[in-house]
Structure 1
């Protein structure tokens, strides 16, 4: 399991556990509201909102919940959320980028710092690890849309830069400015994606041991439980053997 995997793949590890749908819906709702507030409340005219809605649909979020989040933003009846990025290191020297949407910067900073410190890591200054990542667009599809060859050919035709396929699904990488054009070009062939967002792709990977992986996953789980934290990106790589031992 590689740390650049999309948020869904981090959650995949917890498949046997309670997925805490309420918390997940809260995060999705927050992203929809922010996207609608920053642009037009029409997904056809607002690429970020369209991507947020697709992500919510992929997690079976009820249509009423989605529409309610859009309506709140359109009416101005919502909190003012701020996008914040934290950078630091986890167990084994893994680099982590933590993205959050918050209405209370002090609360979020305290929670994130505490979670990292209690699980073998430490936060650094802005830019301390992001220089080791490439800012790119990431379009996610489930494995059921087709085999690797089909997806690769469709992505190449649409103007993507790279494709990574596994049993968990397909990750299509684009230049940041091409994200939504590529996503739009893929839809007639592959359908609506599970997600289309800006992402952090590590330039090099760090292999972690069983003990380091166990602590790292505990850290990611703790961050995931925080409603303010939207996504955790990392450059960790865990072997299949270690994953099997950790269950």
Structure 2
């Protein structure tokens, strides 16, 4: 029975991982399609598409999935989506930004408002949370790429704004307008990055009680499970979380 229970637990975890991977690929595909529709199917002349493809590759999305999404966006029959940012506060006063791509504004707004209320938070007006974040470009490299001295030299050479380090990776911060060209230059020097994206970087981070943290995690999970939600950003002090677009 013990072995059987262990097998069931493993399969349950695998099922959760597969479901998350499927949702993540769907969100990445949507961003690639929108980028292709707005700026054209050539990533060399479409910085947004280039970044979307880089992000998909960093999550090991298959090449055929990426090309299918590009083709879909370039076709005349691709859906119309609205890009919307929602702002609010989670348990413990944590600031949260939610980026969505949706074909139905009312559905998205209603769903996201419900998630906030159900998990001890509240949505707020546009701008009430955004001032707590800076819009920046972010390029991440694994520490396996080389020494901190080597990375710092490259960062200074390309004129990035800042660099943060931990035992697993280097995070290079730059102006979001320069992200595409800077990532290309760094790729020539250091090789392909672990991830390249435009992000909302919190100016300050906050800590909350364990009780509030548990409730906050449930809010994050509810938001991430929504098909319309593309990215979630927060000023919550956290070391690890399974969603790559939550900071």
- Give the alignment's TM-score, normalised by structure 2: 0.85
In structure 1, how many angstroms separate the alpha carbons of the residues matched to 2:106 and 2:194?
32
1:49 aligned residue: 49
The Cα shift of 1:142 comes to 3.1
Aligned to 1:220: 220
Residue 212 and residue 51 in structure 1: after superposition, are their counterparts in 2 closer, same or farther (change >3 A)?
A: same
Which residue matches 1:193? 193
Structure 1 residue 193: Cα displacement? 2.3
Q: For residue 243 of structure 1, what is the aligned residue in structure 2? A: none
SS at match of 1:204: coil
CA–CA distance in structure 2, aligned partners of residues 145 and 105 of structure 1: 43
Q: Show CA shifts across 1:12-32 (max 9, x none).
A: xx9995252111110000010
Q: Is the 8 A contact 1:54 1:192 kept in 2?
A: no
What RMSD, in angstroms, separates the aligned Cα atoms of the two structures?
A: 2.0
Q: Which residue number corresponds to residue 204 of structure 2?
A: 204
Equivalent pair of 1:209/1:238 in contact (CA under 8 Å): no
Q: Deviations over 1:189-225 (max 9, x none)?
A: 2222233222111111111221121111111111111
**Cα deviation digits, residues 66-123 of structure 1 (max 9, x gap):** 1111111111221111110001101111111111111111111111111111111100
2:17 partner SS: coil
Match of 2:177 in 1: 177
Q: Is the 8 A contact 2:89 2:124 kept in 1?
A: yes
Do structure 1's residue 18 and structure 2's residue 17 form an aligned pair?
A: yes
Q: State the aligned residue count.
A: 227
User: Could you tell me how far apart the structure 2 residues matched to 1:94 and 1:15 are?
Assistant: 31
Higher relative contact order (CA 8 A, sep 6+): 1
Q: Hey, what does 2:165 align to over in structure 1?
A: 165
Stretches of structure 2 that go unaligned for 5 or more consecutive residues are 1-12, 241-247
Q: Deviation string for 1:141-184 (max 9, x for gaps)? A: 33432343332322221111011122342221111222112111
Shift of 1:39: 0.6
Distance 2:235 2:26 in 1: 27
Task: Provide TM-score, normalisation by structure 1.
Answer: 0.85
The equivalent of 2:35 in structure 1 is 35
